[in-house]
Amino acid sequence: MRIALLGYGKMGKVIEQIALQRGHEISAKIDISNRTDLLSINSENTDVVIEFSSPESAYGNLKFCMEFGLPTVSGTTGWLQHQDEIARLCLENEGAFFYASNYSIGVNLFFELNKSLAKLMSPYTNEYKVSTNEIHHTEKRDAPSGTAITLAQGIIENLGNKIKWVNNLTANDNEVPIWSSREGKVPGTHEVKYISEVDQIEIKHIAHSRNGFALGAVIAAEWIQGKTGIFGMQDMLGL
């Protein structure tokens, strides 16, 4: 499989390593220094695009890929205000678009655990206050993380008394607070806490390296080949 990498930072380099180990070819490596080379990517030289760039570049990258019907796997966060437009372009051009806020299989199981816990806690919202914490390396520009937002959305959908999330703010009763920190070289830590006057319930996921995220993205690129539509980790994992 010929893979074009849009975004060639630390994550892009790990994806390249894993893709090569799995027998794939890298057809292009695009970052801010050679952005105009994006125009050379097409279905004749590329089977799948993997896009891990930056919030500032993601929308333009994805718009290009969707307009030219290039199957694309994206893990960039901070651009989701354009998600409906990207989905529309994908469907109009009979393309394939796979998006996940986190490609780690462990994190996606954690998402399901988070939803189940929220359902269990829904009768006890007067007793327990929910909050989420996320910690990432200092090079991560956006906050909260896409993973933290996905966790908050899972809580909102299943807890019953929440309507939105807030970042680094004291939350009202109908809000889910997300507390974001940027420290050292932390790949990613996410916690969900339910705290009452008498006890505390926590679930937590700690990433030890980027390898789990990169492997999941390459597996998604393999999985999306030959498909048409909008997909995510739940589709691939059958959750």
Residue 77 is assigned to a ligand binding site: yes
Residue 137 is assigned to a ligand binding site: yes
Q: How many CA atoms are closer than 13 Å to the CA of 101, on its beta-carbon side?
A: 23
Q: Long-range contacts of range 66-69, CB-CB < 8 Å, 24 or more positions apart?
A: 66/90, 66/93, 66/95, 66/97, 67/93, 68/41, 68/42, 68/43, 68/93, 69/43, 69/93, 69/94, 69/95
Residue 59 is assigned to a ligand binding site: no
Residue 190 is assigned to a ligand binding site: no
140 is catalytic: yes
Contact 129, 104 (CB under 8 A): no
Residue 167's φ and ψ, nearest 5 degrees, are -110, 125
Q: Where are the beta strands (DSSP E) in 31-115?
A: 48-51, 72-74, 96-99
SS3 annotation, 162-182: CCEEEECCCCCCCEEEEEEEE
119 is catalytic: no
The three-class DSSP label of residue 52 is: coil
Residue 158 is assigned to a ligand binding site: no
Q: Which of 13, 29, 129, 140 is catalytic?
A: 140
CA 24 to CA 225: how far, in whole Å? 13
Give the amino acid at 30.
I
Q: Which of 115, 136, 162, 190 is catalytic?
A: 136
Residue 160's φ and ψ, nearest 5 degrees, are 100, -25
Residue 99 is assigned to a ligand binding site: no
Residue 101 is assigned to a ligand binding site: yes
Q: Quick one: tokens of 212?
A: 């789990």
CA 21 to CA 161: how far, in whole Å? 47
Annotated binding site: 35, 75-77, 100-103, 137, 146-147
Annotated binding site for (S)-2,3,4,5-tetrahydrodipicolinate: 137, 146-147
Residue numbers annotated as active site: 136, 140
Annotated binding site for NADP(+): 35
